[in-house]
Amino acid sequence: MKILAIDSSARPASVAIIDDDKLLSECFVNNSLTHSRTLLVMADNALKQADLTFDDIDAFAVNNGPGSFTGIRIGVSLVKGLAFERGKKCAPVSTLESIVYNFRFDNCSVCAVMDARCNQVYTALFRCENGKVIRSSPDEAMSIEELAVKLKNVKGRIYLAGDGADVCFDKLSSSVEIIKPDERLIYQNAYSVAAAALTENYFIDSSELVPSYLRLPQAERELKAKSNK
């Protein structure tokens, strides 16, 4: 099964194409250009590298959140369009889960953490065992203090991964047995999106694909706070 996967959940963006468990091609950028300018170009380049066309792709996958509101919206919209035009299925993958797929061949506990600003993180707990990723908690937005309480109930060492790993490590390492893994494993990427989609069989109709933000955008939160005064 050939899958074209996209990650645009943070400032970096990536596109990967797999054929079952084999990585055929991968493109990555981390620059000041918007995802709306780079993603389709990257997808075209990844296809050329693999000597394929969009019509050769069996399904599409994307990180549908949490993460950058704009980035998630652009990635989901692109995948919806590509899948709908060709009558193909697509897979929504949790950004937090895709991070943990970097560890799936280790036997370990992983706490995926993304910086949600204002001393909050997007987070979820997972267990990796013999190539399988087992979810221990849902995707949630919470304060770092709340996360500290939650992690105290997890037995053994815990890997911290995601763009919130540094700030969480600094604040939690004195009270929780946590480990920062190798830099190459910390961040989400399109290859892990494709691997999660294929392994978990997340495929749905393109009309069902929607973002999962976990909380309202800042402008809406501020408006709601004003209306409640």
121 and 172 together in one domain = yes
**pLDDT given for residue 80 in this prediction:** 97
Asked whether residue 10 falls in the same domain as residue 87, the answer is: yes
| pLDDT above 60 for 166 | yes
Check whether residue 36 and residue 137 sit in a common domain: no
Same domain, 7 and 86: yes
* 135: in domain: yes
- In the chain, the percentage of residues whose pLDDT exceeds 90 is 83
**Inter-axis angle of helices 144-151 and 165-172, to 10 degrees?**
70
Same domain assignment for residues 7 and 80 = yes
Q: What are phi and psi of 105, to 5 degrees?
A: -95, 10
**pLDDT confidence bin for 221, thresholds 50/70/90:** very low
125 pLDDT more than 90: yes
State the total domains in the chain: 2
Residues of the chain above pLDDT 70, percent: 94
Tell whether 176 and 194 lie within a shared domain.
Answer: no
Mean pLDDT, rounded, of the chain: 92
Within a domain: 149: yes
User: Could you give the 3-state DSSP secondary structure of residue 157?
Assistant: coil
The answer to whether residue 152 is domain-embedded is: yes
Q: In this predicted structure, what is the pLDDT of residue 222? A: 45
Tokens of 59: 């399904």
**Residue 82 sits in the same domain as residue 119:** no
Check residues 152 and 64 and name the one with the higher pLDDT. 64
**Cis bond before residue 66 (omega within 30° of 0):** yes
36, pLDDT greater than 90 = yes
Q: Is the pLDDT of residue 224 over 70?
A: no
Work out the pLDDT band at 175, boundaries 50, 70, 90.
confident
Confidence band of 226 (pLDDT split at 50, 70, 90)? low
CA distances from 21 to 2, 194, 198 (A): 9, 9, 8
Q: Using pLDDT thresholds of 50, 70 and 90, give the confidence band for residue 157.
A: confident
86 and 114 inside one domain = no
Question: Both 123 and 182 in a single domain?
Answer: yes
Question: Confidence class of residue 219 from pLDDT cuts 50, 70 and 90?
Answer: very low
Which range of residues forms the domain containing residue 112? 103-186
For residue 148, give the CATH number of its domain.
3.30.420.40
Is residue 192 domain-shared with residue 92, that is, in the same domain?
A: yes
Work out the average pLDDT over 72-91: 97
Statement to judge: residues 202 and 156 lie in one domain: no
Q: How far is CA 137 from CA 2, 57, 105, 147, 175, in A?
A: 30, 32, 20, 12, 21
229 in any annotated domain? no
Reported as a pLDDT band with limits 50, 70 and 90, residue 95 is: very high
Tens digit of pLDDT for each residue in 178-214? 999 998 899 999 999 999 999 999 999 999 999 999 8
Query: 107 and 92 in one domain?
Result: no
Which CB contacts under 8 angstroms, 24+ apart, belong to 106-112? 108/157, 108/159, 109/136, 109/154, 109/156, 109/157, 109/158, 109/159, 110/158, 110/159, 110/160, 110/161, 111/147, 111/151, 111/154, 111/158, 111/159, 111/160, 111/161, 111/168, 111/178, 112/161, 112/162
